[in-house]
Amino acid sequence: MIQERKLELAGVPCLELSPGEAFAGQVLLYHGWGSTMASYRFFASVVAGWGFRVTVPELPLHGERGSLDYGDAEALQAHFWPIVRQGVGEAGALADELARRSDAPVAVVGHSTGGFIAAGAFAAQPRLRSAAVINGSCAWVRFEEHYRARLGIGRMAAEDRARLERDDPFPRLRLQPGRPLLLLHCEGDTTVPVDSQRYFADALRGDGELPEKVRLLEFPRADHVITLGMLERLHDFLTRPGSAE
């Protein structure tokens, strides 16, 4: 039976779901823009049912931590990257806290905005043993460039670009033995187009760092959702490392 509770870890409100005292590993699960930890309860319960203790942090300015007009373009442009950066910073403290509570390995999984956070956290925190980025991006500068071009927004200010380049997982995120990365993306995603993930995957292939069995998996006829196929791949990735092909 899945056990559920709300708690605060490293100063962050979290929802925790667990199969009990014994679990195969720990998963930090990040929700997306406009969602809340409560709205990810079902997703978390599915992963907990696979044998993992799942912790869903509340993103800044979401749920119990405040609110925004999430459909407003100006609010998105003003708050998206600060929320991602804060989430990445908090992930380190959360991973440390989870490691103090248990020796079980910690994975990070995120969808949409949570996928950006998962990528940034995985690049910055060696304690995180694996990561799955769903409809997010591991190449932040590339994503922002395409986002602005698509909407006809002017180029980034030099200072903003320099900061994004410093924070971007792309130059720092490299696969290592025993530290796998799974990229899942809707082929028709109009919210976070797949282009920046293709760019990231192609760069790793060019460097000889992307084994064929760990690759970008695209899902046709879907637009910025979590499909059953994605859940199947995520299950295999978390429970049977090396089987995500």
The mean per-residue pLDDT over the stretch 63-68 comes to 96
% residues pLDDT > 90 (the chain) = 83
pLDDT attached to residue 245: 44
pLDDT attached to residue 208: 61
% residues pLDDT > 70 (the chain) = 93
| pLDDT surpasses 80 at 72 | yes
pLDDT attached to residue 207: 63
Q: Could you give the CA distance from residue 124 to residue 6 in angstroms, rounded to a whole number? A: 26
Strand partners, 109: 29, 132
DSSP symbols for 123-145: HH-TTEEEEEEES--S-HHHHHH
| pLDDT surpasses 60 at 211 | no
pLDDT attached to residue 175: 66
Q: Which amino acid is at 235?
A: H
HEC string of 225-241 equals CCCHHHHHHHHHHHHCC
pLDDT, tens only, 145-171:
999 999 899 889 999 999 999 999 998
Residue 180: φ, ψ to 5° = -80, 160
| pLDDT surpasses 70 at 212 | no
Q: In this structure, how many other beta carbons lie within 10 angstroms of the beta carbon of residue 153?
A: 12
Q: Could you give the CA distance from residue 94 to residue 89 in angstroms, rounded to a whole number? A: 9
pTM for the model stands at 0.94
Question: Which are the contacts of 208, defined by CB distance < 8 A and separation ≥ 6?
Answer: none
| pLDDT surpasses 90 at 70 | yes
Q: What's the count of helices (H) and strands (E) in the chain, helices before strands?
A: 7, 8
Give the ranges where 71-214 is alpha helix by DSSP (H): 73-101, 113-124, 140-151, 158-167, 195-206
Residue 20: band (very low, low, confident or very high) from pLDDT cuts 50, 70, 90 = confident
CATH 3.40.50.1820 at 3-239, yes or no: yes
Which of 119, 104, 1 has the alpha carbon at shortest distance from 55?
Answer: 104
Q: Could you give the CA distance from residue 27 to residue 32 in angstroms, rounded to a whole number? A: 16
Q: Could you give the CA distance from residue 136 to residue 115 in angstroms, rounded to a whole number? A: 4
